Amino acid sequence: MAARPPVQVRSRVSLREVAQVFLRLGTIAFGGPAAHIAMMEQEFVSRRRWISREDFLDRLGAANLIPGPSSTELAIFIGYEKCGWPGLLVAGTCFILPAGILVALIAAAYVRYGALPQVNGILYALKPVVIAIIVQAFWKLARSALKSKWLGAIGALSATLYAMRMHGVLILAIAAALAAAPAVFRKLKSAQPASALFFDLPALAKALVAVTVVAVPVNLWRLFLVFAKISAVLFGSGYVLLAFLRADLVTRLHWLTERQLLDAVAVGQVTPGPVFTTATFIGYLIAGSRGAIVATIGAFAPAFIFVAVSGLLIPRIRKSQMAGAMLDGVVVGSLALMGVVAWQLGRAAIVDWPTAIIAVVSSGFLLRFQVNSAWLIVAAGVFGWLHSR
């Protein structure tokens, strides 16, 4: 692909501005991780120019490599990039907070009335807008990530493997190995020592096992540790989260019923912000408002730790030719997963002519006129509410 001139990136951003932008994103970010990533690309790369597209892709690749909620980790990465350690804490907290408060309110209503609010009409119109946002971001990011035909082939292979239901982490490992293969071959031909081939990542390996669970009798501590453990080892989608939650909370601890668990996951899917705010709902059901706070902290604390550690390593990785090539592979593999998820979500979201028209019109506004996605989300929500009456 033809090289494009570099975009001037804003070097100085205030902590207050970081807080304001992530609070707004956390309030309107419907649609799950792929949609959140798309909104962040539009907000921070295309619109505000806080971060270059190449750096954004590096952080996205790293977020997909570590356990936990990938879109929240990407938010934390961006906050750290612009304002250091304070930005790391503020960006992540502000992205989580609006959804946490909303989910806690829904949980309170659920405990009182025994059912979820009816939001089907609003979701009917929101889903095709979310698909348009994901497609726009995928197109922009792919243009930067596909630096060669070899990386394009790796992306196609990654998408095929994911469609065949291979585990996402294994796909990223394969993509990294294939991307590094040409560099390995060149090194071997030049007969350099094997120690020069790879970047040393022992600190990252230690960090990935830093969060462990020790059973203690206090219920709130056990609640915290259950969610910290799940977040520290979870790779994959909300369906993987469902399996972990069921094993611990329904089968082992008997804190929830099957129906309560499914309702909790549904709330995490239909509210804005991270899907992991399912923890807030479950914590409220188990131990009221204190349980909601404790479960939420447990679910997101490992993400802050992992980003803090890996954020220090990414610049060093890019200085190594071998590790940089592997990161390119991870980036392409991550985009392939995002593309397949967009296709799968699109089949579920675009179900008739009205939703198809919403998706096409939204795509036109995003790609042609660069409209802020927040306005499209608000308009779709109003339309959906009126349509359902």
Is residue 259 situated within a structural domain? yes
Q: How far apart are CA 236 and CA 334, in angstroms?
A: 12
Residue count of the chain, please give it.
389
Is residue 237 situated within a structural domain? yes
Identify which has the larger pLDDT, 30 or 211. Answer: 30
User: Angle at CA 172, nearest 5°, toward 170 and 177?
Assistant: 95
Tens digit of each residue's pLDDT (9 = 90 or more) over 150-175? 999 999 999 999 888 887 768 878 99
Is residue 383 situated within a structural domain? no
Q: pTM value?
A: 0.67
Count of structural domains, the chain? 1
pLDDT category of residue 2 using cuts at 50, 70 and 90: very low
Is residue 173 situated within a structural domain? yes
Domain that holds residue 276: 13-370
Is residue 103 situated within a structural domain? yes
Is residue 268 situated within a structural domain? yes
Tens digit of each residue's pLDDT (9 = 90 or more) over 85-94? 999 999 999 9
Tens digit of each residue's pLDDT (9 = 90 or more) over 253-309? 888 888 788 677 667 766 888 878 989 999 999 999 999 999 999 999 999 999 988
Cβ atoms of residues 336 and 155 within 8 Å:
yes
Above 70 in pLDDT, residue 119? no
